[in-house]
Chains A and B, each alone.
Chain A
Amino acid sequence: MSKPHKPAKPAPGGPATAVRPELVRAERLRVGYGTKPVCGEIAFTLREAEAIALVGPNGAGKSTVLKTVVGQLEAISGKTHIRGQEADDRRLDFRREVAMVFDDDAFFPALTVEEHLAIVAAGHGSTEVDDLIDTELEFFGLTGERAALPHNLSSGQRRRMLLAAAFVRPRSLLVLDEPEQRLDTGMRSRLAERLRSEVDAGLGLLLVTHDPAFLSIVATRAIFVDDVVKKMTPDQAALAISFENPHAG
């Protein structure tokens, strides 16, 4: 992984200090299965050009928080609003704005890599489907697998394909569950740099990660998820991950 780069400090009085539009607001959110919460109560606000990393030990409930925030799981209590409206993926504007990649996958067995990506790109109304696919296949190192069927791909290649699917479509909020999973070091580094530049350009990013270097590059803020939820700086969170020390902050 390349040397982590720190987010640029906003110039005083510059545009960065203006209040950016709110993307996600999670209010007194308790997440879990049935009535049993898996972690402490969580609340945060994510604005445009911000990246919040959820960190914490295995089984602490990070992915559950992520899925609840985007309405994939029902919250025990509390609410999440995306652009001021309750998170509900039945709404068209929600699906237009929110791209997400979790750790599960499924593929049409008879469709190639590029055909899968074409469904996403064309489904989102893109007019430059071929160009978009070319760009993302190249970025994710899948140009040679363009015509490959999913069962011929390695698990790492399938992971790249899923990530590519999130990039061939427009998005204002990107939700990633351990994007570094099954990626080699070079790919992790390139992905982190790209995410950082997209965040700087206005993207809202909510991610779960166990990689301190990835976190240092990408995140602007962090939340340590466990029985007690704590807000941290990216540096504190990276340290907490590195030493598996929840009290690092």
Chain B
Amino acid sequence: MSYSTSMSEPAAAHGHTLSAKEIRRYTFKVGLARSEGGIMELVSEIYTYVFGAVVLIVMSGAIIVGLRHSLGLGSEPAWSASALAPGFASLEPLQASATLMLTLAAALLSVQMNIGPIAMTVPQTFWWLGLPVRRRGFIEPGFFRSMIWPAAGAVAVVVPLSLGIGAASSPALVALATVCGAALALLLYGIAGWVQIVGGERWLRALTGAVTVVAPLSLVATALINNAEKTRIDMSWLQYLPTSWPLLVAGGQLWPLLVTALAVAMLAVVYANLERLGSASLKSSAVASAYVAGSVLSMDASELSRSLSNGSRSGHSWIRLPLVFHRGSLTRRSVLTMLSAHLTMQLRQPGTLVRVLVLAAIPASLASVQFLGNATLIAVVLYFCALFAVTGLGSVARFAAGNPSVDALMPLPAKTVRRAHYVIPAVGMTLWMIICFALLHVLGVGSWPLIILAVLAGPGLGGATLRAAFRPTPDWNMPAVATAMGPIPTGAIRSFLIGPDLTLISLLPVLICLISGVVPLLAFPIQLALTLIAYAWGTKVRKPKKKGDGGIFGLPAAAPTR
């Protein structure tokens, strides 16, 4: 094979360096020629995108219909009746939407800064960036490709909100609001890109982190102050923040479309400066993007959350808890050491703990918004918040699952070690449930018996944390199931459900009582029994599979032949 011919004969013959475009084309051409897909791979790609688009449209449609029902624009079913105390002064939907837009914008900017946003793949940074050619040709495709995600995200958020808020919005106004939303997302992408080029993003990271924490809490805080002081804090200024401009467009104002020009200008500035991107920045964004892609493929929500958040750690912490204990038996001392180590690890992730706390306030924040305080919606949101909180508090257990040799160092039976892992998630989730239901109670949702029931459910969620953390890896011997993401073994799908299932089981009595509005006495023993089951299930130590197990369709694998 002659490379001087296959790459660029004239260039090589005259001894001048190839362009980035030629090198990029060569890499893809050679790689594509060797891929096993061909036309069927193309069909599969199209199928994936079409299927994905259909799912997105159906989900958006369901959200819109649900919102319109809640807003009283359609017929109101019984289950969507308000669960708030009579006379409770709810927040305006516009304030809630503006707060949501502000939170999402801050989260988008934060994620964009963490993953680049301008990224190449890891092999590309490794083999291309050292070449003495102008890098623009290597970076440009990633620059344009990465714009798709923020723009698509903006469409998915702005369309339902425009239809919900501007009930009388014409299709043209909704379309313009969507354009405004996409432009806003691209402006944020451009800002993140500029930060990637010039560096010095520390203060911006701090700001976006603070906004994503404070903004959701501001809803419930405003509602509580309004009702306690029988007043109404004026939050109308929120709608004039640039992040709310798409909502203004949906309401009929056109001047916020100015953001489109700002986005174009910002992107042009970044585009003109692509050559200033350093290797270190491109490599780190390539690694971050690969981490995100890997966690999406592994369908691990906690890893995805970690990959999207700031991965940099200082390597130092002022948290120092005692790890050596002198009193009591060996077992007692070992268990205390484990508990102290687990608590230290958890406290050294303050960002995760803050996120878990914010999640406890989300159901109350939702309930405080006019038309959204119906018990069913609160119950659904509460389940997902509990699920994410369980994931957040499961980081230590997940580390132990990934590094079993650390636990093996302890002079304790496996069962005792697993029970030691249970303590902190169980205590943490019990506190979480108390905060969550106490906030709801202040808004008039639920009752004292419901809070007691929630306290009983907390330790059950600790069991769900362990079940999710120690879930077995997918059995790749199982037959594959066709999905939009390609064939996935049935074991992988089952693995994905391990954890969320026990979270639901643990919460079932609480959620039913929340929706029905009454807490019968029978609910307490049922909740207690389910919590005990969750504890037993979560702390169960699975026996390792024997050699020869796990053949196709559960049949024993064929005996090895000599």
Contacts and interface: CB of A to CB of B under 8 A. Distances in A.
Contacts of A92: 132-134
Contact of B30 (A88, A115, A125): A115
Contacts of A121: 3
Contacts, number: 116
A122 B132 contact: no
Interface string B1-30: 111100110011101111000010011001
A108 B280 contact: no
B130 A122 contact: no
Contact of B127 (A89, A93, A120): A120
Interface stretch (A22-30, A78-86, A94-102, A222-230): A94-102
A110 B35 contact: yes
B315 interface: yes
B384 interface: no
Contacts of B279: 71-72, 89-90
A106 interface: yes
Contacts of A73: 280
Interface in B22-44: 23, 26-27, 30-32, 34-35
B290 to A, nearest CB: 9
Counting chain A CB atoms within 10 Å of each CB, the highest count among B2, B27, B32, B315 belongs to: B27
B141 to A, nearest CB: 15
Interface in A119-150: 119-127, 129-130, 133, 149
Given A123-B23, A124-B17, A125-B15, A118 B127 contact: no
A127 B17 contact: no
Given A118-B7, A119-B26, A127 B12 contact: yes
B128 interface: yes
Interface string B127-170: 11111111100000000000000000000000000000000000
Contacts of B275: 90
Interface residues of A, number: 42
B122 interface: yes
B314 interface: yes
A108 B123 contact: yes
A110 B1 CA distance: 16
A182 interface: no
Interface of A: 33-34, 36, 71-74, 88-90, 92-93, 95-96, 99-100, 104-111, 114-116, 118-127, 129-130, 133, 149, 165
Given A34-B315, A71-B280, 7 more contacts: A90-B276, A96-B132, A107-B123, A109-B123, A110-B31, A125-B132, A129-B4
12 contacts: A90-B279, A92-B134, A96-B132, A106-B123, A110-B30, A111-B31, A115-B30, A116-B127, A119-B127, A122-B4, A122-B7, A130-B2
